[in-house]
């Protein structure tokens, strides 16, 4: 039997992982369309001034499935570095090491915060506590107490997702907050104690040519094994098969040309909302309306090039406080530890926003000033005027789990699932707040389902249960 033809939409980790696995296991003839100029999607990289930069802080977490990690190691070889984590959180005007360290907490934590947290921990053991409820706020308050909620998670949530934490679903707290209870928090602190440290704790993997090197390596391997990898090609419309035996017709534009690609399967990693809107004949009106209620948070990345060797020794700074508009600042040079280029470093600040809002419309100059003001406000002023400030914009950075998001999402998903030989997966395709290793696990899982030329939807259903348990690593 001839290999099924699979068109993959999107060349982020979920797309390139599937293209490579289909080709390696000879289970399908893949054509991958990636609209951008490089592979990796939000987990991609680009070069500027002799330095590799990511779209915000990206690390490969040791929680990666061992088989996938072994594949990444084989693809990258010595280019994949094992690095210690060394970040800081700005909490009530003080810097706390992240990952958390017991001694640092004892010496530096704001006393009122420490006392409040201890009081909350004791109160949690007492009978008659408030029920957990189902909003982001109530889940965090019930599990981590009001001190951590008010000073850390709730203001951070407002910045990350742009909503009052009472409007956000409890699912966002359960999926997004890895230290989601006092027990987990204490375990995370103890992870830093020699002797109690599990393997990988406080460490991460990082490629020498930026995080995007992982996706680039998968894409290069897929191409070598025969996949048709098309960079700079955007899917514009998808004609559904007219019958069970008819092919899909995927319309695409790239490099000043247009093309129609016929396929037996379409595997999409683009936002499920955009997929539903791209299909012809069009989805029913109620499905199209439901896509409007499934929303993603956008993000601007502000890069500032400084004429100094190093800004700080830290890889990342986290800013949960309401007064600081950016959520995180990373110094990419400290991730790969290559010390290149000499005499300059580039900072990358993450500024969540909504596409088209006042922040989204700010000029690079205004955003550079915002960054300088935010850092000065935290006692971390820029040591020199930036030689360059430039930005990148991510339209879909984080899924927003608003209260009641499940109903419109289910409507869109169940319609997409009802279309034969169509698969939506990956972070955007499943509207899931995931890490790269999760997106890769979905890609490998999709290929596991492709047996004897047919896609096993029952097995995919089982895998969906596993994906639903993914919890984001920070």
Ligand X SMILES: Cc1cc2nc3c(=O)[nH]c(=O)nc-3n(C[C@H](O)[C@H](O)[C@H](O)COP(=O)(O)OP(=O)(O)OC[C@H]3O[C@@H](n4cnc5c(N)ncnc54)[C@H](O)[C@@H]3O)c2cc1C
Binding site for ligand X (CB under 6 A): 9-15, 33-36, 41-43, 56-59, 61, 234-235, 269-270, 299, 350, 394, 397, 426-428, 434-437, 439
CA distance 470 to 317: 25
Residues whose CB is less than 8 angstroms from the CB of residue 402 and which lie 6 or more positions away in sequence, other chains included: 163, 167, 168, 169, 293, 295
Closest among 263, 348, 252 to 10, alpha carbons compared: 252
CB of 38 to ligand X, least distance (A): 8
CA distance 24 to 3: 12
Q: Is 293 exposed, middle or buried (0-12, 13-18, 19+ CB in 10 A)?
A: middle
Which residue, 169 or 330, has its beta carbon nearer to ligand X? Answer: 330
Estimate to the nearest angstrom the gap between the alpha carbon of 331 and the chain centroid: 18
CB of 270 to ligand X, least distance (A): 4
Beta-bridge mates of residue 298:
353
Which residue, 9 or 91, has its beta carbon nearer to ligand X? Answer: 9
CB of 280 to ligand X, least distance (A): 14
Which residue, 142 or 394, has its beta carbon nearer to ligand X? Answer: 394
What is the distance between the terminal CA atoms of the chain, rounded to a whole angstrom? 44
CB of 407 to ligand X, least distance (A): 23
Which residue, 82 or 286, has its beta carbon nearer to ligand X? Answer: 82
Which residue, 15 or 145, has its beta carbon nearer to ligand X? Answer: 15
Q: 377's torsion region: left (phi>0), alpha (psi -120 to 50) or beta?
A: alpha
Strand order in the sheet with 279-280: 257-263, 248-254, 233-239, 279-280
Under DSSP, the state recorded for 3 is P
CB of 339 to ligand X, least distance (A): 22
Which residue, 124 or 392, has its beta carbon nearer to ligand X? Answer: 392
CB of 142 to ligand X, least distance (A): 27
CB of 212 to ligand X, least distance (A): 10
User: Does residue 457 contact residue 43 with C-beta atoms inside 8 Å?
Assistant: no
CB of 65 to ligand X, least distance (A): 12
Q: Is 363 exposed, middle or buried (0-12, 13-18, 19+ CB in 10 A)?
A: exposed
Which residue, 184 or 393, has its beta carbon nearer to ligand X? Answer: 393
The CA–CA distances, whole Å, from 68 to 20, 73, 144, 443 equal 12, 9, 33, 11
CB of 443 to ligand X, least distance (A): 8
Which residue, 61 or 90, has its beta carbon nearer to ligand X? Answer: 61
Two tokens, residue 59: 């690390």
Closest among 217, 163, 276 to 45, alpha carbons compared: 217
Which residue, 141 or 159, has its beta carbon nearer to ligand X? Answer: 159
CA distance 273 to 9: 14
Two tokens, residue 346: 């580039």
């Amino acid at each position: 039997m001839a290999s099924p033809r699979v068109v993959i939409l999107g060349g982020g980790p979920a797309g390139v992982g599937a293209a490579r696995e289909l080709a390696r296991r000879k289970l399908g003839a893949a054509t991958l369309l990636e609209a951008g100029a490089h592979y990796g999607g939000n987990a991609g990289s680009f070069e500027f001034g002799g330095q590799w930069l990511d779209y915000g802080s990206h690390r490969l977490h040791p929680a990666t499935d061992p088989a996938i990690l072994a594949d990444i190691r084989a693809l990258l070889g010595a280019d994949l570095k094992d690095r210690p984590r060394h970040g800081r959180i700005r909490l009530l005007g003080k810097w706390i090491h992240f990952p958390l360290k017991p001694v640092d907490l004892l010496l530096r934590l704001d006393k009122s915060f420490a006392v409040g947290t201890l009081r909350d921990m004791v109160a949690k053991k007492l009978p008659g506590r408030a029920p957990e409820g189902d909003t982001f706020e109530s889940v965090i308050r019930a599990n981590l107490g009001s001190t951590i909620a008010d000073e850390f998670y709730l203001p951070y949530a407002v910045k990350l997702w742009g909503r009052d934490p009472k409007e956000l679903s409890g699912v966002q707290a359960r999926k997004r907050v890895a230290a989601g209870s006092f027990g987990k928090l204490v375990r995370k602190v103890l992870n830093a104690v020699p002797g109690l440290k599990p393997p990988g704790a406080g460490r991460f993997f990082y490629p020498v040519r930026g995080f995007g090197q992982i996706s680039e390596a998968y894409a290069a391997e897929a191409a070598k094994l025969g996949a048709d990898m098309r960079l700079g090609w955007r899917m514009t419309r998808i004609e559904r098969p007219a019958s069970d035996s008819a092919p899909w017709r995927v319309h695409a534009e790239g490099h000043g040309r247009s093309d129609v690609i016929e396929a037996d399967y379409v595997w999409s990693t683009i936002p499920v909302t955009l997929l539903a809107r791209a299909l012809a004949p069009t989805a029913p009106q109620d499905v199209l309306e439901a896509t409007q209620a499934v929303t993603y948070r956008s993000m601007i990345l502000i890069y500032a090039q400084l004429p100094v060797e190093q800004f700080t020794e830290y890889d990342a700074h986290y800013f949960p406080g309401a007064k600081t508009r950016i959520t995180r600042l990373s110094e990419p040079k400290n991730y790969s530890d290559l010390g290149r280029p000499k005499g300059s470093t580039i900072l990358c600040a993450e500024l969540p926003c909504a596409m088209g809002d006042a922040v989204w419309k700010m000029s690079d100059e205004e955003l550079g000033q915002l960054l300088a003001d935010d850092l000065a406000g935290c006692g971390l002023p820029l040591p020199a005027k930036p030689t360059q400030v430039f930005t990148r914009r991510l339209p879909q950075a984080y899924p927003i789990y608003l209260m009641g998001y499940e109903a419109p999402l289910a409507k869109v998903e169940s319609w997409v699932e009802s279309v034969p030989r169509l698969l939506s997966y990956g972070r955007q395709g499943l509207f899931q707040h995931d890490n790269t290793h999760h997106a890769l696990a979905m890609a490998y899982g999709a290929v596991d389902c492709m047996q004897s030329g047919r896609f096993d939807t029952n097995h995919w259903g089982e895998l969906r249960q596993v994906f639903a348990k993914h919890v984001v690593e920070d």
